Structure 1
Amino acid sequence: MTTHTASAAETAVAGLRTSFRRAGQGYPLLLLHGWGGSSRLWHYTLRDLADRYMLIAPDLPGFGASPPLSGRLSLERLADWVIAFADALGLERFAINGHSLCAAVAVHVAARYPERVSHLIVTSFSTFRDERERRVVASIHHLMALWLALRRPWMLDVQPLMRLVGSRFFYRLPADHALLRETFADFLAMEQRTALETARGAGSPTISAALAAVRAPALLIACRHDQIMPPPGAPVAAARIPRCRLVWIEQCGHLPMLERPHEYHAILTEFLKDGAV
Structure 2
Amino acid sequence: MELQIKERNEFQYVDEGAGPVLLLLHGLFGALSNWQDVVEHFRPDYRVIIPLLPIYEMPLTQAGVPGLVKYVEEFVAAIHLTESCTVLGNSLGGHVGLEYTLRNPTRVNRLVLTGSSGLFEDTMGGSFPKRGNYGYVQERVAYTFYDPAVATKELVDEVFDVTNSNAKCLRIISIARSAQRHNLGKELGRIRVPTLLVWGLNDTITPPVVAHEFHHLIRNSELRFLDHCGHAPMMERPREFNVLLSQFLRRTEKEAVAAS
SS in 2 for 1:115: helix
Which of 212, 219, 232 matches 1:242? 219
1:266 equivalent among 239, 243, 260: 243
> Within the alignment, does 1:220 sit opposite 2:194 as a pair?
no
Distance of aligned partners of 1:209 and 1:76 in 2 relative to their CA distance in 1, 3 Å threshold? farther
Aligned length in residues: 248
Per-residue deviation at 1:30? 0.8
Give the structure 2 partner of residue 144 of structure 1: 125
Q: 2:17 maps to what in 1?
A: 24
1:58 to 21, 46, 51: 51
C-alpha distance after superposition, 1:33-63 (max 9, x if no partner): 1111111211221222211211111211124
Give the % identical residues.
25
The answer on whether the counterparts of 2:37 and 2:234 sit within 8 Å (CA) in structure 1 is yes
2:23/2:85 contact within 8 Å kept: yes
Q: CA separation of 1:101/1:245 partners in 2, compared to 1, >3 Å: closer, same or farther?
A: same
Residues 130-209 of structure 1: pairs in structure 2 closer than 5 A: 137=121, 140-141=122-123, 144-148=125-129, 150-152=130-132, 163-174=138-149, 180-188=152-160, 189=162, 191-209=168-186
- Letter of the 1:213 counterpart: R
Q: CA deviation at 1:5?
A: 5.5
Alignment counterpart, residue 69 of structure 2, candidates 69, 79, 90: 79
Aligned 8 A contact 1:30 1:97 in 2: yes
The partner residue of 1:44 within 37, 40, 52 is 37
The match for 1:231 is: 208
SS at 2:186's partner residue? Answer: helix
- The one-letter code sitting in structure 2 at the alignment partner of 1:9 is K
Instruction: Point out where structure 2 has 5 or more consecutive residues left out of the alignment.
Output: none
Spell out, residue by residue over 1:167-187, the C-alpha distance to the aligned partner (whole angstroms, 9 max, x if none). 201111336xxx723432443
Which deviates the most, 267-276 or 113-122? 267-276
Among 85, 101, 119, the alignment partner of 1:94 is 85
Q: 1:79 to 1:210 in 2, by over 3 A?
A: farther
Kept after mapping to 1: 8 A contact 2:126/2:173: yes
Name stretches of at least 5 consecutive residues in structure 1 with no aligned partner: 129-133
- 1:118 Cα deviation after fit: 0.8
CA distance in 2, matches of 1:18, 1:236: 34
CA RMSD of aligned residues (A): 2.3
Checking the alignment, whether the CA contact within 8 Å between 1:170 and 1:254 is kept in structure 2 is: yes
Per-residue displacement from partner, 1:117-152 (whole Å, max 9, x unpaired)? 011111112665xxxxx6xx4xx43x534343x334
Give a deviation string over 1:75-123, Cα, whole Å, max 9, x none: 2332222121111111122111011122111011111100000111111
- TM normalised by structure 1 equals 0.81
The amino acid of 1:171's aligned partner reads Y
Whether the 8 Å contact between 1:127 and 1:236 is mirrored in structure 2 is no
The corresponding residue for 1:106 is 97
